[in-house]
Amino acid sequence: MQQQKLGPHMAVAVEGIDLATATADTQAALVDALHDNLVLCVRGQKLPPVAFRDAMARFGVPVKRLQLASTPECDEVNIISSEDRDELGDGKKLVNGASWHTDDSFMREPCSLTMLYGVMVPSRGGDTQFTNMYAAYEALAPEMKARIDGLQVVHKYQSSRQTNRVSRRPESEMKAMPEATHPLVRTHPETGRKALYLNANRMEQIVGMERAESDALLDQLIAHAIEPRFQYRHVWRQGDVVIWDNRCTMHKANADYPEGERRLMHRVVVAGTAPV
């Protein structure tokens, strides 16, 4: 299994393996590479939806997510397409994940990992950006760490602070997604490292803090966390499977590909636990 570092402080690419038939030793090496690098790209895959789901199940338990369309073959495999629209709202096009976020933070038990498979990629553009939330936390001044350790933040599917449109959901589904309260600094359950836990599109307010002060602090931390020194930008190749750890990263999608070209991704998320 050949590994190639992609960024100076995060992300690694692996070639020469088939995720559908990976041995136990190879799978263990992939998990180690993910923990060490936060973002793992496995090149050159050919995975129909069920095979993709089954390969990703080796990293955790795949869970259904109703906020995105699913493939006909497999409910756990979501479709992310340049053709996505807000079907229950105004019908306009959506760019899923267009602002910095970590997946599922509006849920009380957010997913741990996200897996994205490049089924069709444009000739240029459509990159996914990632930022290292371990490094962002570690770079904070001691006074700021002392200020934010122990603070809790309310996250909501439709936050008043949201920075890009999200699809409208049925009322029954919204009732099943009550607001969640998560720590501003979380400890990774497997590595034991601390990371900032932010989501520009879902955070509502810091618990116990006046709104103006809360907004100012959240804005300051987001601006810090997305500084270029913490980032890696993934340029997609068709057949890439990119796996990232939502417990120590944020990411965003870019819709800057040429007009008329299609970008089609399949997505699986695996179960996580309540952040601590």
pLDDT, position 264? 93
Pair 10, 130: CB distance under 8 Å: yes
**Domain locations in the chain?**
2-270
Structure tokens at 179: 């607001």
Q: Among residues of the chain, what percentage have pLDDT more than 70?
A: 90
From residue 210, alpha-carbon distances to 148, 178, 204 in Å are 15, 22, 12
Pair 39, 130: CB distance under 8 Å: yes
- DSSP-based helix, strand, coil % in the chain, nearest 5: 20, 30, 50
pLDDT, position 162? 81
Residue scoring higher pLDDT (164 or 26): 26
Structure tokens at 105: 């933070």
Split at pLDDT 50, 70, 90, the class of 242 is: very high
Q: Is the pLDDT of residue 224 over 90?
A: yes
Q: The pTM is what?
A: 0.92
Q: Is the pLDDT of residue 10 over 70?
A: yes
Thinking of the domain 2-270, which architecture would CATH place it in?
4-Layer Sandwich (3.60)
Instruction: Kindly report, residue by residue over 83-139, the tens digit of the pLDDT.
Output: 654 444 555 565 677 789 999 999 999 999 999 999 999 999 999 999 999 999 999
Distance CA 84, CA 49 (A): 18
**Cβ burial, residue 239 (10 Å; 0-12/13-18/19+):** middle
Distance CA 122, CA 130 (A): 19
